[in-house]
Amino acid sequence: MSLWAEGAAPGTPYWWEGAETPALTTDLPERADILVIGAGYTGLSAAIAAHDCGASVCVVDAEAPGRGASTRNGGMVGAHPRLGWDALAKSFGGEVADALFAEATPALDFVRDLIAREGIDCDFRQTGRVQLAWTRVHFEAQQRLAAHVRAKSDVKAEILDRAALAREIGTGRYFGGILFPEHGALHPRKYHDGLLAAVLRRGVPVLGGAEVTSLDRQGGGFTAQTAKGPIRAEKVILATNGYTTPLFRWHVARVFPLPSYLIATEPLPENLIGHLAPGRRMMVETRARHSYFRVSPDGTRILFGGRASMREVDMRTAARRLHATMTGIWPELAEVRVTHAWWGNTGFSFSHMPRVGEHAGLHYAMGFSGSGTVMAPWLGAKAAWRALGDPRGETAYAATALRRHVLHPFARPHFLKAADLWYRFAVDAAETRAGR
């Protein structure tokens, strides 16, 4: 059987269907108080926050805005830190770990309010999100995580044993899970385009095809050369995450691009979807394969993502691997074909936590490590407020220092080739055995 449905579009995100590109600004202004580099969630949220403080702002992107991760992702919405409390305390100290957990609910509230206030129609729903434990050991770790989440934040977390999990997903592959009932789902491209419209509505110029190719610090400000000409700015916010170009060497040495892949199935019968995902929750796994999957906003397809490879592979290879992982969970999908397969770069920090900060006078928010639908707009706004000296810029994410790693000495992610082999043939093989 061919994996591909007729008319399949390998390489094009499912989310781009029906997209109408908003008209962008054509002329680059000569100056702005704040220049934002990158027009994904981080940059657009920074632009809204800075403009609403009274600053003149300009946003430039190397590509069409949104062509980075912000219109390619899984659309899962969650806000508690990616790591458990113990790991955070080890990296940043107990006080910072507490503060990071405490920021989870304010960050989610911020995004919910932003969507409502700007009237963004992006299929946002608090569907709940289930983290699925592959092994008993993972399940035991989840119990510690749930206890910390409940003790250190206002986020609700319910442990699901096998019987409870059967009400959420039609497979017996998992040992148990945690349900975060307030977490949710959105349509990532509609969310991005809604933010873009909110920026343009404010009269803030947004230019695509305007890669910043040099940045000079002069007299307390900056002059940026872009593919659309020069611009002078008092402050600059770098919002480029997994797409940061080598010009920003300090950042590229600390945040590396890790690809994530997704497939969309052909439309499925309603009763089959009801059997696979009865609760219509967002699902993420504890395996190093890092599979994540969901029902599409219109309720007709399974969107299945994961680490098909830690480096760039062709769409056919990636789709085949994801399809195999999907049918390992739901064998009844073996004959189901794929209409879309695509990928994007997540921007990983070595601590797996994002940071908002300043280096050599350049403000930045990045390192979202695969969790950016909430954290990117949250920290984009924080970066703008910090640049403008607004007290709302205070955040525990200023204390999550971005570090270099001995395996990444030349700021080129060559180590991902070796890491890919290690994950696939050692970690993944061991986890597969443990999950049997």
Q: Which of 36, 49, 67, 177 binds ligand FAD (CB under 6 A)?
A: 67
Residue with smaller CB distance to ligand FAD, 232 or 275: 232
* 223 near ligand FAD, rule: CB under 6 A: no
* 68 near ligand FAD, rule: CB under 6 A: yes
Q: How far is CA 85 from CA 96, 146, 379, in A?
A: 10, 10, 20
Nearest-approach distance from CB 294 to ligand FAD, in angstroms:
8
Helix (H, G, I), strand (E, B) or coil at 91: helix
Helix (H, G, I), strand (E, B) or coil at 427: helix
Q: Which helix (H) or strand (E) holds 340?
A: strand 338-349
Nearest-approach distance from CB 68 to ligand FAD, in angstroms:
3
Say if CB 366 and CB 238 are below 8 A apart: yes
* 212 near ligand FAD, rule: CB under 6 A: yes
Q: Which of 25, 131, 371, 395 binds ligand FAD (CB under 6 A)?
A: 371
* 244 near ligand FAD, rule: CB under 6 A: yes
Say if CB 356 and CB 238 are below 8 A apart: no
Total residue length of the chain: 436
Nearest-approach distance from CB 383 to ligand FAD, in angstroms:
10
* 177 near ligand FAD, rule: CB under 6 A: no
Q: How many residues bind ligand FAD (CB under 6 A)?
A: 43
Q: Which of 35, 43, 114, 307 binds ligand FAD (CB under 6 A)?
A: 43
Q: Which of 240, 296, 339, 400 binds ligand FAD (CB under 6 A)?
A: 240
Range in contact with ligand FAD (rule: CB under 6 A) among 23-31, 162-170, 240-248, 268-276: 240-248
* 400 near ligand FAD, rule: CB under 6 A: no
Which residue in 255, 259, 260 sits closest to 411, CA to CA?
255
Residue with smaller CB distance to ligand FAD, 49 or 135: 49
Residue with smaller CB distance to ligand FAD, 112 or 275: 112
Q: Give CA–CA dist 306/431, Å, rounded.
A: 15
Q: Which phi and psi (to 5°) does residue 206 adopt? A: -130, 120
Q: Give CA–CA dist 67/304, Å, rounded.
A: 20
* 376 near ligand FAD, rule: CB under 6 A: yes
Q: Which of 4, 25, 34, 72 binds ligand FAD (CB under 6 A)?
A: 72
Strand 292-295 with 282-285, pairing:
antiparallel
Q: Which of 306, 370, 393, 435 binds ligand FAD (CB under 6 A)?
A: 370
Residue with smaller CB distance to ligand FAD, 145 or 239: 239
CA dihedral defined by 349, 354, 358, 364, rounded to 10 degrees?
100
Q: State which of positions 321-350 bind ligand FAD (CB under 6 A).
A: 343-346
Q: Give CA–CA dist 281/183, Å, rounded.
A: 9
Q: Give CA–CA dist 277/149, Å, rounded.
A: 25
* 99 near ligand FAD, rule: CB under 6 A: no
Q: How far is CA 389 from CA 54, 111, 363, 398, in A?
A: 13, 22, 12, 14
* 266 near ligand FAD, rule: CB under 6 A: no
The residues pairing with 302 across neighbouring beta strands, listed in sequence order, are 295
Q: Is the dihedral of CA 182, 187, 192, 197 positive or negative?
A: negative
Three-state SS string over 200-219 comes to HHCCCCEECCCCEEEEEEEC
Range in contact with ligand FAD (rule: CB under 6 A) among 74-82, 97-105, 140-148, 151-159: 74-82
Range in contact with ligand FAD (rule: CB under 6 A) among 32-40, 273-281, 316-324, 386-394: 32-40
Neighbouring residues of 107: CB distance < 8 A, sequence distance ≥ 6: 79, 374, 375, 378
Range in contact with ligand FAD (rule: CB under 6 A) among 47-55, 70-78, 157-165, 388-396: 70-78
Helix axes 375-387, 41-52, angle to 10 degrees: 40
Nearest-approach distance from CB 202 to ligand FAD, in angstroms:
18
Q: Which of 8, 28, 35, 37 binds ligand FAD (CB under 6 A)?
A: 37
* 129 near ligand FAD, rule: CB under 6 A: no
* 76 near ligand FAD, rule: CB under 6 A: yes
Residue with smaller CB distance to ligand FAD, 123 or 211: 211
CA dihedral defined by 287, 288, 294, 300, rounded to 10 degrees?
-100
* 211 near ligand FAD, rule: CB under 6 A: yes
Q: How many CB atoms lie within 10 A of CB 271?
A: 8
Q: Which of 243, 256, 330, 364 binds ligand FAD (CB under 6 A)?
A: 243
Residues forming the site for ligand FAD (CB under 6 A): 37-43, 60-63, 67-70, 72-76, 211-212, 239-245, 247, 260, 262, 305, 343-346, 368, 370-373, 376
